[in-house]
Amino acid sequence: MDIPVYLVAGFLDSGKTNFINGVLEDGFARQDKTLLLRCEEGEEAYNPRALDNVIVVDIGDEADLTCSRMKELEKKQEVYKAAVETVDSKQRELEEAEGQADGGAEMELSP
């Protein structure tokens, strides 16, 4: 079964988690079991009261976001829609380049 996937992307500290919290509090997952894929570890936390019908899965590497992995999660969790929270790839590239340009250790960023 195909399910809708909503992508929430933006710069670090741009309000992605707050946006997701607002959407969830407004009832986005009230009727349909929803998979939330977290591809970054931010400062803000998801509101536990809004996660009643939501399964949060941490994705440690962008390479894990494959069609087969998504189908596996869909079947295992029996979800009807999914949301993906990720940092903007251009910002990730800039931060990695800055870490190297400063002569310091390479920055390790979660996707």
Domains of the chain (ranges plus CATH)? Answer: 5-101 (3.40.50.300)
HEC string for the chain: CCCCEEEEEECCCCCHHHHHHHHHHCCCCCCCCEEEEECCCCCCCCCHHHCCCEEEEECCCHHHCCHHHHHHHHHHHCCCEEEEEEECHHHHHHHHHHHHHCCCCCCCCCC
The share of the chain scoring above pLDDT 90, in percent, equals 33
pLDDT digits (tens, 9 = 90+) for 53-103: 999 999 888 788 888 988 898 889 999 999 988 876 656 566 666 665 444
pLDDT of residue 107: 38
